[in-house]
């Protein structure tokens, strides 16, 4: 299993008039978490794209439990529980500075071969890099 934590502060631009994080900002937080996880593994989205493999989103589920507020320091905990094949499933939990669980979600990405214009298996080089965690 892969687990990564990334910290991000809630800025004014992330909030509504009540100082609460706007509901539509959470997918961006999820993306920050998974992008940093992949970077920690020694890979980047850019390298995948340069090799002709894209990772479009096929689904996203978001559960809002408590509000995040202006100036909170959030911890984005991203988890991958299964070695990816064609689908790459990320589970995300977001906590505030008091370790309160605020939000939980899941994002499913699909490995996509740009040249063939269809889904594909995860590249072997990527699998070799992460299989030690499973």
Class of domain 2-133 as given by CATH = alpha beta
Q: pLDDT digit string (tens) for 84-127?
A: 999 999 999 999 999 999 999 999 999 999 999 999 999 999 99
Three-state DSSP class for 14? helix
Give the residue extent of every domain in the chain. Answer: 2-133
**In this structure, what token pair is assigned to residue 79?**
């988890």
C-alpha distances (whole Å) from 35 to each of 77, 82, 127 are 12, 17, 16
Which residue in this structure is represented by tokens 């609460």?
Answer: 20
Q: How far is Cα 10 from Cα 24, in angstroms, rounded to an integer?
A: 13
Q: How far is Cα 54 from Cα 60, in angstroms, rounded to an integer?
A: 17
pTM for this entry: 0.94
Please pick, among 14, 16, 50, 72, the residue that the annotation labels catalytic. 16
Q: Is 16 a residue of the active site? A: yes
């Amino acid at each position: 299993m892969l687990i990564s934590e990334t910290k991000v502060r809630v800025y004014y631009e992330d909030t509504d008039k009540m100082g609460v994080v706007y509901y539509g900002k959470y997918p961006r937080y999820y993306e920050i978490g998974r992008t940093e996880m992949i970077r920690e593994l020694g890979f980047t989205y850019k390298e995948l794209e340069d090799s002709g493999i894209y990772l479009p989103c096929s689904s996203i589920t978001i559960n809002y439990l408590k509000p995040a507020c202006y100036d909170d320091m959030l911890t984005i905990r991203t988890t991958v529980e299964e070695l990816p094949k064609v689908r790459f499933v990320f589970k995300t939990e977001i906590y505030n500075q008091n370790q309160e669980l605020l939000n939980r979600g899941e994002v499913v990405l699909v490995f996509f071969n740009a040249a063939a214009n269809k889904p594909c298996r995860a590249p072997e080089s990527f699998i070799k890099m992460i299989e030690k965690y499973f």
